[in-house]
Amino acid sequence: MRRLFIAGNWKMNLKLDSAIALAKGLKEAAADVSEVDIAVCPPSLYVQPVGTVLAGSNIGLGAQNGYFEKAGAFTGELEMAMLTDVGCKYVILGHSERRHILGESSEDVNLKVHAALQAGLIPIVCVGEKLNERDNGVTNLVNQRQFDGSFSAVSAEDMKKCVIAYEPVWAIGTGKVATPEQAEEVHAFLRDLVAKRYGQDVADVVRIQYGGSVKADNAKELLSKPDIDGALVGGASLKVDAFMGIINAVR
């Protein structure tokens, strides 16, 4: 059985005070949640103070990105081992905003996936098609390319540790959520890709989150689908009530 995994991607939001307040509020509100895994991914600068607040809680800490090189002359970047050093368990990699706004390729994502695994982090690897790609009937092709590129040369043992997040770009921050059927279709396709490459035993344990306008009122229906194992939440992860509403809806 795959445990549901709800992660909040705070993106480039909040300030130190509001990040700390949100972490404190979540720590308290989620204290009795044992049925699902929870994580928050603050902006890098706030990872450590938020981690200090969350210490000893059931909420895991994640970063939104990391670099693939080991320590050295890489101005502005963060080594994966620096993320574990300040308590991160997870790192989001290949988010569509990094792919499409910052020009990250699946080859870049792949280097980061390997670096993250080597540092002992659990990568949450995002894939997803844009609206015009869905309209042109290439949804599966796009997701397969991103999957193949991002997980190139990842071993079966390492694949088991990875989380995939299917985030259709057209559903991110738009309020336009994929229907549970649309999402399930891609999740099942992705799980099948894992099965073809690694075998069913690996496919059975890899968790695939859905992301894109997840809210308390649509989470339950989405996560009731057999291949949807959690959610990667943007906007609704920025308020205690909204994020807890999702968690409580699926427990």
Report the catalytic residues.
95, 167
DSSP reduced 3-state for 125: strand
Q: Enter the DSSP assignment of 169.
A: G
Stretch that binds ligand 13P, among 78-86, 183-191, 196-204, 210-218 (CB under 6 A): 210-218
Report the nearest approach of ligand 13P to the CB of residue 153 (Å): 25
Find the binding residues for ligand 13P in span 229-248 (CB under 6 A).
232-236
Stretch that binds ligand 13P, among 28-36, 144-152, 180-188, 205-213 (CB under 6 A): 205-213
Q: Does 102 bind ligand 13P (CB under 6 A)?
A: no
DSSP reduced 3-state for 37: strand
Distance CA 123, CA 90 (A): 6
Distance CA 121, CA 93 (A): 11
Nearest one of 215, 136, 230, 212 to 171, comparing CA atoms: 212
Stretch that binds ligand 13P, among 51-59, 156-164, 194-202, 226-234 (CB under 6 A): 226-234
DSSP string spanning 41-97?
Answer: E--HHHHHHHHHHHTTSSEEEEES--BSS-SSS-TT--BHHHHHHTT--EEEES-HH
Q: Which is nearer to ligand 13P, 91 or 233 (CB)?
A: 233
Q: Which is nearer to ligand 13P, 202 or 214 (CB)?
A: 214
Distance CA 37, CA 31 (A): 12
Q: Does 207 bind ligand 13P (CB under 6 A)?
A: no
Angle between helices 216-223 and 180-198 (to 10 degrees): 40
Report the nearest approach of ligand 13P to the CB of residue 1 (Å): 25
Q: Which is nearer to ligand 13P, 172 or 202 (CB)?
A: 172
Q: Does 42 bind ligand 13P (CB under 6 A)?
A: no
Stretch that binds ligand 13P, among 68-76, 147-155, 187-195, 206-214 (CB under 6 A): 206-214
Q: Does 211 bind ligand 13P (CB under 6 A)?
A: yes
Q: Does 167 bind ligand 13P (CB under 6 A)?
A: yes
Burial class (CB in 10 A: 0-12, 13-18, 19+), 233: buried
Q: Does 173 bind ligand 13P (CB under 6 A)?
A: yes
User: Which residues lie near ligand 13P (CB under 6 A)?
Assistant: 9, 95, 167, 172-173, 211-214, 232-236
